[in-house]
Structure 1
């Protein structure tokens, strides 16, 4: 960030001539209603950055004190505001001088520390020159301000109404354009206007009439709407926060339940798998032991039958009969070997949850209503009257200035005219009407649709013949103009 040089400035002057945003000497300093001054470019960048997120901005807070600054003009166009904020000519002159000496003494090649500032001459004066300045006939009405009070000078400029074009004091008000104007504007831009009054006269009329009060009442009503809108906005933010927290809490609770349920299901599946595996393994272990015993038995039989040479004959016969009998009994025991297939669809079912399960998208419904308008979505409707023969496909209609009603019935090709809630006239038309609107006291538009094309019929007739609106024959008296337009 740039720093302000202090070689020729004391601490007090440095504060007055340094922009609080960029800390450089002021460049085209502009002051706000709170009398804080900033560089033109710094203030412009600040306004644009502050207002970029707002819809149709109407002002901005001061970068220092945060006091709200109304838009000087052109609501919703912050890029134009900085040019309309007044220049602090005193600060600008101090920045150009960059010292604290008396300007009058400097012209005499002398150096005296300035103690006062002349707002008319835009010069610094020492105590002696300030005294002479007040005694001079030309400058005796100039207002001198102490250097210590120099920051308060913009107050006087703020209270002056100046012409936007010529920066001169305004003396007149153009009523036609509702603009303040100086003498030059009066004879140039507003010389053809019908009413141009003096500012004092206009001010007296405003004070004596109730114009200010009526405008104040309208502003108060609008302020009440703004307060209500702000309250509703804050309540809506609170509602969104509370509802979102509730949704998160419910979703988190349900998520935990779902995870717990899935965990329990999977654990049950694991338990069932372990139980079945254990039972089948125990059976297979018993089967293997049984087969091993029988294998050892038949191996012993085979060995006995091979050792017949050293066996006595009676023992041989005895062993033969015993082995034959036991072998026949062994083969009748019915030993069965098992074929086992272990299978589970749990993984596919869990995978299906991952593939198919998806939460519904969050829905945020927002309805925009004009400030101070009516919310018909929550309004209570009350029937005022029921018009006879108005059932069926009534596709359009309009109110007349005298309170009468005109309706169009499409399928029956009828237009119904009601007065005081009674059906006064029913006209059969050539084409089925879609809608009818009143433009002016004697001018109407009626829309129809034939063969996929829309027809707009323009009717012009005398006010006293209002009930003859539904004449469908082309006559010179009514001069009906027809224009086909695509639907």
Structure 2
């Protein structure tokens, strides 16, 4: 069992309906608790059922809920008929500003009177009048009544209360027994009527602990995991909303750009049409005007000849008439030839604009044909297995100490595809290879080896921290060094994004000492560099998710885990008072993140969005260092800092 769990995010319990601190808490038979006012409003607006068995569905679990008997059978009163959550009221009573408790006996009578005290035996909140009546009635005058002032000063008063609920069948009786045969609780009447022949009936007043089927801390742990899952689910939905908003804004922006481009296109067309139309007009105008001018000259000559002959006929002698008529008659042939040649037909000219078919089609289409919206649905199933998974120790392998060497300290480890295990021994400058059966195969001396990652085809990349190098090894039954390249800064963490792309991390040891990570190809060319405004130290570890889109970086000296996108965007920053000296970091097939907390001997299991699922302490060795997953079987390997006996171990958990 994980022995450490995360705390709740809210100091006071919240009503699932109004999402605020619960006021006048009423608990349904399914044990879900709500504000009385919220529950009443919900019932009135829900599809409740009236009749012989009036009921409504619980707002949370949707189970049919039958209100306690009431003569009026009015849904408006149902909420007030359910029992108040006494334990919760006492907790809330620690802050008077947070809650006002109503008098229980007065509430059914439609009187909302603030309670002044709590009867321990009756488990009812009482106003001043009801407290006085309690003191006078012989049957209850011996009951203990705690004032609200005493409760607010001493929240631990809850330990003195009988917090069991009333029987759902005999509402005037308290639950006193648990029937193990039927796995149910019951009152004394139920025990006589329905459970008389049952083999084991546990008296909750004297032996409630034996009725528990699981440790309540286990239940709290599971609730914490579910809480983390729901928070992750809500965060995914929030991310969806933000992404949809961004996409919608981008669509609006893109259509504005399209409109601007179309306007620019039509402006160009209009200008070209104006220019070409004017040019054609002017060209044809000059031609037709020239023809008119020539025709006008011919017309003037003809009119002159006619006027001359007309004048000679009126004023001249016969000889003048003869000579003038003869001369003009000779001109007639020229005039006629000109008419026949130039003026026998008139060309009617037109300037037209023909639109391209594509432009006609564009103008004829409706808006919904030109631009269509559609919703693409990608189903992202959130795996539940990882949430309810508590790793257990499968095997422990003792590793050999090199002859006359120091106690091994493995700060790099990995599973090879064939099941072999490769370790980097920082203390003895060695890389050590173990078979799938976990027997020692080979060693290779490598100066100052650090983290490592698989890059394909039996090849492994190892960071040489102080050397500022990345060394490539070929691992079969032996370890063979191949090529290497240098890095510009001190490097520690290393992970593979593909067969030809790596990401490394460390700190800027020639400048401001800040942490950094960078993406390089396997030839050593840096493609992206990201620096964190946080002074760094020697130990950083890297992990990547299955899709190689998120980078997880643990920083030992500042007790922090970062999650980045490959563009440098920070997705989350994880810190926890129980996380000291984070080292190895691994991601399983379901994208759940595991971080080895070296200083406090634990592992932090996180959801993909950084919410804590659990802190694992059981089965974890002293000072866990590296953590790496075998993705084919989803088991993982831990190494730890060696002890004074010069022994160091590998731990396989699944």
- Give the structure-1-normalised TM-score: 0.50
How many angstroms does 1:295 deviate by?
2.6
Contact 1:206 1:212 in 2 (8 A): no
5 Å-filtered alignment, 1:51-450, equals 71=60, 75-77=61-63, 83=78, 86=82, 90=103, 93=106, 96=109, 130=132, 134=135, 138-144=139-145, 159-167=163-171, 168-200=173-205, 203-205=208-210, 211-306=215-310, 307-333=312-338, 334-336=341-343, 337-346=346-355, 350-356=359-365, 358-372=369-383
**Deviation digits for residues 181-233 of structure 1, max 9, x if unmatched?**
101111223335454322256631367x8533433333333333223222222
Q: Report the secondary structure of 1:197's partner residue.
A: strand
Separation in 2, partners of 1:205, 1:79: 29
Separation in 1, partners of 2:358, 2:278: 19
Q: Report the secondary structure of 1:366's partner residue.
A: coil
**Deviation digits for residues 386-416 of structure 1, max 9, x if unmatched?**
xxxxxxxxxxxxxxxxxxxxxxxxxxxxxxx
Contact 1:44 1:79 in 2 (8 A): no
Separation in 1, partners of 2:147, 2:215: 41
Q: 1:201 to 1:80 in 2, by over 3 A?
A: same
Separation in 2, partners of 1:48, 1:284: 87
**Deviation digits for residues 420-441 of structure 1, max 9, x if unmatched?**
xxxxxxxxxxxxxxxxxxxxxx
Contact 1:173 1:202 in 2 (8 A): no
Q: Report the secondary structure of 2:202's partner residue.
A: strand
- Structure 2 match to 1:409: none
Q: Report the secondary structure of 2:342's partner residue.
A: coil
Give the stretch that moved more between structures: 339-348 or 366-375.
Answer: 366-375
How many angstroms does 1:134 deviate by?
4.4
Separation in 2, partners of 1:48, 1:99: 27
How many angstroms does 1:171 deviate by?
1.0
Q: Report the secondary structure of 2:178's partner residue.
A: strand
- Structure 1 match to 2:524: none
How many angstroms does 1:236 deviate by?
2.1
**Deviation digits for residues 294-326 of structure 1, max 9, x if unmatched?**
233223323333442532344334423442343
How many angstroms does 1:164 deviate by?
0.9
How many angstroms does 1:238 deviate by?
1.9
Runs (5+) with no aligned partner, structure 2: 1-17, 28-32, 49-56, 68-74, 85-101, 387-416, 419-654
5 Å-filtered alignment, 1:1-16, equals none
When you count helix as a share of all residues, which structure comes out higher? Answer: 1
**Deviation digits for residues 447-467 of structure 1, max 9, x if unmatched?**
xxxxxxxxxxxxxxxxxxxxx
Larger Rg belongs to: 1
Contact 1:175 1:196 in 2 (8 A): yes
Separation in 1, partners of 2:38, 2:384: 42
Contact 2:180 2:211 in 1 (8 A): no
Runs (5+) with no aligned partner, structure 1: 1-20, 22-28, 50-57, 61-70, 101-113, 376-382, 385-487
Q: 1:298 to 1:142 in 2, by over 3 A?
A: same
Q: 1:365 to 1:352 in 2, by over 3 A?
A: closer
**Deviation digits for residues 85-126 of structure 1, max 9, x if unmatched?**
7256835526749699xxxxxxxxxxxxx9989896998767
When you count strand as a share of all residues, which structure comes out higher? Answer: 2
Separation in 1, partners of 2:170, 2:189: 8
- Give the structure-2-normalised TM-score: 0.39
Q: 1:274 to 1:346 in 2, by over 3 A?
A: farther
Separation in 1, partners of 2:349, 2:302: 27
Separation in 2, partners of 1:237, 1:226: 16
Q: 1:255 to 1:149 in 2, by over 3 A?
A: farther
How many angstroms does 1:265 deviate by?
1.0
How many angstroms does 1:44 deviate by?
1.8
Q: 1:37 to 1:278 in 2, by over 3 A?
A: same
- Structure 2 match to 1:109: none
Q: 1:157 to 1:200 in 2, by over 3 A?
A: closer
Q: CA RMSD in A?
A: 5.0
Q: Report the secondary structure of 2:103's partner residue.
A: helix
Contact 2:117 2:146 in 1 (8 A): yes
Contact 1:48 1:78 in 2 (8 A): no
- Structure 1 match to 2:533: none
Q: 1:178 to 1:369 in 2, by over 3 A?
A: farther
Separation in 2, partners of 1:195, 1:318: 156
Contact 2:177 2:191 in 1 (8 A): yes
Q: Report the secondary structure of 1:315's partner residue.
A: helix
Q: 1:179 to 1:242 in 2, by over 3 A?
A: same
Separation in 1, partners of 2:273, 2:181: 89
Q: 1:47 to 1:80 in 2, by over 3 A?
A: farther
Q: 1:265 to 1:122 in 2, by over 3 A?
A: closer
Q: Report the secondary structure of 1:164's partner residue.
A: coil
